């Protein structure tokens, strides 16, 4: 699984070498990232099991969806859209005002797993990205 290191290549930027594949490219780029963010929030809004998580999100939900899309773009090796608009993601600091415990982490991961399963056709890509984002989600816990 050497390709795992390859798809999560550090230092992705707008001026990255277009001949080098990364997760962003491998899963379909902008269109796929947008679809993942959309499916993520659709699942959050539809699930009875994710209503506490939904309540933590300020309206309109489209703003949160856009920020997730922008973050995922850069995190997966594409354009650093979030960083261009808001600066370094500093995710833990940005999430400190919210009580994030195991239940909130798990609700968030439920939505992400749904989105990845819906939008990514390659099961190996789904698993690698899910494992990486699960580690990140666990790091957001502050309760």
Given a cut of 50, whether residue 8 has pLDDT beyond it is yes
Q: Does some domain include residue 83? A: yes
Query: Domain for residue 28, yes or no?
Result: yes
Range of the domain at 30: 24-139
The band of 51, judged by pLDDT with boundaries at 50, 70 and 90, is very high
Instruction: For residue 61, count CB atoms less than 10 angstroms from its CB and return exposed for 0-12, middle for 13-18, buried for 19 or more.
Output: middle
Query: For residue 126, is pLDDT > 60?
Result: yes
Please check whether residue 98 lies inside any domain of the structure: yes
Decide if 17 is inside a domain. Answer: no
Q: What is the CATH number of the domain that holds 57?
A: 1.10.490.10
Tens digit of each residue's pLDDT (9 = 90 or more) over 64-117: 999 999 999 999 999 999 999 998 988 888 888 889 999 999 999 999 999 999
Query: What pLDDT is recorded for position 91?
Result: 86
142 within 8 A of 100, measured Cβ to Cβ: yes
Number of folded domains in the chain?
1
Within a domain: 58: yes
From residue 24, how far is each of 11, 31, 33, 36, 104 by CA, in Å?
13, 10, 8, 12, 26
Closest CA to 133 of 106, 100, 97, 98: 106
């Amino acid at each position: 699984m050497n390709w795992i290191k390859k798809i999560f290549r550090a230092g992705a930027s707008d001026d990255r070498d277009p001949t080098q594949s990364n997760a962003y490219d491998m899963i379909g780029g902008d269109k796929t990232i947008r679809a993942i963010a959309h499916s993520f929030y659709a699942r959050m809004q539809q699930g009875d099991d994710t209503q506490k998580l939904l309540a933590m999100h300020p309206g309109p939900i489209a703003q949160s969806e856009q920020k997730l899309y922008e973050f995922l773009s850069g995190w997966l090796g594409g354009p650093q859209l979030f960083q261009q608009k808001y600066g370094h993601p500093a995710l833990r600091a940005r999430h400190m005002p919210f009580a994030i415990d195991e239940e909130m982490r798990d609700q968030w991961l439920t939505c992400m797993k749904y989105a990845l399963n819906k939008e990514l056709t390659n099961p190996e890509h789904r698993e690698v990205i899910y494992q990486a984002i699960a580690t990140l989600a666990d790091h957001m816990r502050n309760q």
